[in-house]
Structure formats: structure tokens, C-alpha cells
Amino acid sequence: MTHSIRCISIDKQFKGDGIKTNALHDVNLCLEKGEFVAVVGPSGSGKSTLLSLLGTLDRPTGGQIIYGDKNANEMKGKEVADFRFENIGFIFQQFHLLPTLTSLENVMVPLFSRRVAYNKKERAEKLLELVGLQDKLNSLPSQLSGGQQQRVAIARAMVHEPHWLLADEPTGNLDSDTGEVIFELISQLNNEKGCGVVFVTHDPVLASRASRIIRMKDGGIISDTAGEGK
């Protein structure tokens, strides 16, 4: 199990057409179990890149990311996939639901190729009930509103009970009222399930309600302050 995450002197470069782009430079960060953290900053500041590194979707060019006592740099192949399954849940701005699958099936997607000790269908049903979609189990994404689709995505992210929930602009494609509902739902999961949350947002009001606000600019952290949350 892992609960804390430490980023030590993280650099991330992207190469294309012979040009190197420094997306992150000398990022040092420690995230503790159960924290509710907002990451803010202008476009191109490195927010989404940081989130992808925290979620082991990508690797840093330099530095180390330590999860509890595990060094991400030392994990390879299936070990990375297994670690991600056991520890990380993702919520994206674009939902990324499979259009030909029902809500229930979409929530079960992370479990399809996994052996688990619980009933997969029952776990997915309980989560859809938790997010208020118990009457939409058999609905396709095209039959759901944007807010409902994001709720399905949240249930999918939580189906394997991760220690960390990483959300990239989770309310960005939603109207303000629906975005408020989704934010409250993520806050509820943080409080009731105990999972840490790191969410990227351009909304300063939502960011202020986190327990901690990390501000980024030009690939680095320029401030790390307390928010109004717990």
C-alpha cells in the first residue's frame, strides 16, 4: 500500500522536431495521505504533466517520484500497471467513456482483466448508487447528460478503491451548477473513502475550497499554500 507521494527534483522534457521543451523543472512536492489538493496555473504551466507523472502514466526525465517506500523509476511493465490499479484513480475532463458500453459496464472496465476478491458487478452497482445513478445502470453515454457522464467516470475511477484520485479539470466541460455537484461529490469521496485528491482546475473559487493550493508557472511550483478546506 502507498499513501504518501514525494516528488524529488522532478524534470520533464518533451522532444519534437529537434526541439526540447521543458514541461517541468526542479519540482519538489510531498503529498500526504487523504489530502485534498488543488493545482492551479495558466495553460502550459505544467499542471497536467505533473498529474500524469503522479499517476504513473508517464515518467520524469530527471528526479524521482516515491510512493510510500516504492520508487516509480524502478518499476517496469506490468509492475507499473499493477501499482496504478492498486493505488491510482483518474477523472478526466473529457469523461472517456466507451460509447457502446452501459454505465455499469463502463464502471467495470478497470476490473475486466483483473482477478479480485469481490463481486465486480455488485461493486460497480454500489458506486453508481453512491453517485446517484442507480436508475441509469443500463444507459449508454449518449443517453446521459454531461454531469451524469462525469458521475459514471467518477464511479469508474473509484471502483478499485484507490488511495489517490487524480482529476484533470473534472468540471471543465460542465455548467457551473453541475460542476458544483461534481466538486461536492469528489469532496464527499475524499471525506468518506479517505482517498487523497489532486485536482487541476482553472476555477479559483473551486481551488480555494481545497485544503491546499499549489500554484504553477513555467513548469515550476511558485507557491504552496493552505486553502479554506479541512
The mean per-residue pLDDT over the stretch 198-222 comes to: 94
SS3 36: strand
> Are residues 67 and 48 in contact, defined by beta-carbon separation less than 8 angstroms?
no
For the domain that residue 173 is a member of, what is the CATH number? Answer: 3.40.50.300
Q: Which helix (H) or strand (E) holds 220?
A: strand 220-226
Q: In which band, very low, low, confident or very high, does the pLDDT at 45 lie, cut at 50, 70 and 90?
A: very high
**For residue range 86-115, what is the model confidence (pLDDT) as tens digits?**
899 999 888 899 999 999 999 999 888 777
* pLDDT reported for residue 230: 59
Query: In this predicted model, what pLDDT tens digit does every residue of 51-94 receive, in sequence order?
Result: 999 999 999 999 999 998 888 888 888 889 889 888 999 998 88
Residues 132-152 pLDDT 10s: 999 999 999 999 999 999 999
Average pLDDT over residues 214-218: 96
In a domain? residue 101: yes
Segment 160-209, tens digit of pLDDT: 888 999 999 998 888 888 888 889 889 988 888 889 999 999 888 899 99
Going by pLDDT thresholds of 50, 70 and 90, the confidence category of residue 1 is very low
Domain residue limits at 180 = 34-46+81-226
- pTM for this structure? 0.90
Domain assignment present for residue 92? The answer is: yes
Report the C-alpha gap between 19 and 46 in whole angstroms.
17
Residue with cell 482529476: 167
**Is residue 59 situated within a structural domain?**
no
Total domains, the chain: 1
- Please name which of 98, 79, 193 lies closest in space to residue 140, comparing C-alpha atoms: 98
Does residue 11 lie in a domain region?
A: no
Q: Judging by DSSP bridges, how do beta strands 70-71 and 5-16 pair with one another?
A: unpaired
pLDDT value of residue 116: 74
